[in-house]
Amino acid sequence: MIAIDDNIVAGFVVAYELQRVDRNQKLMFLYEIGVLKTHRKKGIGTVLMNLEKSNHKYLCMASIIFLYYMK
């Protein structure tokens, strides 16, 4: 999922759905999230997280990486 501001990709989240092997339950694995340095402190990351969480009952956040090198 990406966030676009003025035709610029300002943020993104990479996540995928997993099926648990021990029970009939799916969960969302959040792999990576990033927001451009110029677009931080505007709630973009929060909106991306809320949209991702709203689609899934269980969210597994094993690794969250903020990319400071994005230009």
Domains of the chain: which residue ranges? 2-61
- Determine the 3-state secondary structure of 11 from DSSP: strand
CB under 8 A, 24+ apart: contacts of 31-34: 31/62, 31/63, 32/63, 32/64, 32/65, 33/64, 33/65, 33/66, 34/65, 34/66, 34/67, 34/70
pLDDT for the residue numbered 41: 94
CATH tag, 2-61: 3.40.630.30
Instruction: Please tell me which residue, 5 or 57, carries the higher pLDDT value.
Output: 5
Whether the pLDDT of residue 61 is over 60: the answer is no
Instruction: Please tell me which residue, 1 or 65, carries the higher pLDDT value.
Output: 1
